[in-house]
Amino acid sequence: MFMNPWYYITNIFKKKENKNMAETPTTNKTLKTELKKQRDELMSLRSRMSTLADENHLLKNDLKKLKKAISEDINFIYDRLKEIK
């Protein structure tokens, strides 16, 4: 009914197969093509990160300008309301 506890202990230490490994043999040609694809993908990601960093910088500057403009508008409205009273 119960399994032997040593069965579980020995299975813990057994080397398990990696099921995600490609079942095709790796040759120099396949490795080179894979490296090229990864290099291209890395270059694309670096370019995208650079673009996002630039856009982030522009958005920060636009937000600062917007805050300043809103502050000036609120001060103007406040001053006008003081004059009316």
Question: What is the value of pTM for the model shown?
Answer: 0.54
Question: Residues 26-42: pLDDT tens digits?
Answer: 788 899 999 999 999 99
Reading the block at residue 56, the tokens are 């982030």
- Considering the chain, what percentage of its residues have pLDDT values greater than 90? 62
By the 8 A CB rule, do 30 and 24 touch? yes
Instruction: Tell me the average pLDDT across 53-68.
Output: 97
Selected residue with higher pLDDT from 14 and 79: 79
pLDDT at residue 18 in the model: 54
CB crowding 43-71: b at 16 or more within 10 Å, else e: eeeeeeeeeeeeeeeeeeeeeeeeeeeee
Rounded to whole angstroms, what are the CA distances from 63 to 44, 49, 57, 73, 74? 28, 21, 10, 15, 16
Instruction: Note whether 52 and 58 are within 8 A (CB).
Output: no
